[in-house]
Amino acid sequence: MRVDTSAVFGFVALMVTTTPVWAQEARDIEVTPYVALGSAAAPPVGAMLTLPLTSNLSLETEFGYRRGEGDMNAFSTSASLLWLLPRAGQASPYLGAGVGLAQYGRPVLSLNGPPIGTQRSVAMTVNAGGGLKMPLNENLDLRTDARWFKLMGQGSDEFRVAQGISFDVGKR
């Protein structure tokens, strides 16, 4: 699947223009450590930092880790925009999309035998998905996040469902 950059920029512009310029209320900056289940190249552990931009738009940065191909330690990072949808009871659903970088390993093959090593590489990624936050108390939320990831130039689609606890670290 090819991602059209004008479609991505259009999506971002739509999200920004349909929200108030700045929220009147102060929203919390949140940190969410997570564990996840998903396809092999999706990071199973990591953390997300969510910074509110407007009343229903946030910027999220994510750092992930997975044990990669050839026993390499593979890290990933991304930046996503989260669009908060109307609340459904206590639940706060959201949609998200972003871009990032991820390490991966490519096997180094011998002439007539099995792989003899792993060549480390970095690829650009795009992601899209959504999730749900449920309050536990005034400072903690239970967060479930489902994302699709695409390693550009590698033809690899990944899917991940992450579960974490969000906690407030300050106000914007």
What does the pLDDT look like over 22-51, one tens digit per residue? 334 557 899 999 999 988 777 789 999 999
Q: What is the pTM of this model?
A: 0.76
On whether the CB atoms of residues 54 and 26 are closer than 8 A, the answer is no
**pLDDT of 108 strictly over 80:** no
Sign of the Cα pseudo-torsion (90, 161, 77, 2, in order): negative
Distance CA 72, CA 85 (A): 38
Answer with the residue of higher pLDDT: 53 or 20.
53
On whether the CB atoms of residues 98 and 129 are closer than 8 A, the answer is no
User: How high is the pLDDT of residue 119?
Assistant: 77
Closest CA to 141 of 36, 26, 29: 29
Span 73-95, average pLDDT: 94
User: How high is the pLDDT of residue 21?
Assistant: 41
**pLDDT of 13 strictly over 60:** no
Lowest mean pLDDT among 12-26, 50-64, 127-141: 12-26
| Cα→Cα distances 22→16, 25, 29, 30, 85, Å | 10, 9, 15, 18, 17
Q: Which domains does the chain possess?
A: 5-18+29-167 (2.40.160.20)
User: How high is the pLDDT of residue 6?
Assistant: 53
Mean pLDDT of the chain, nearest integer: 83
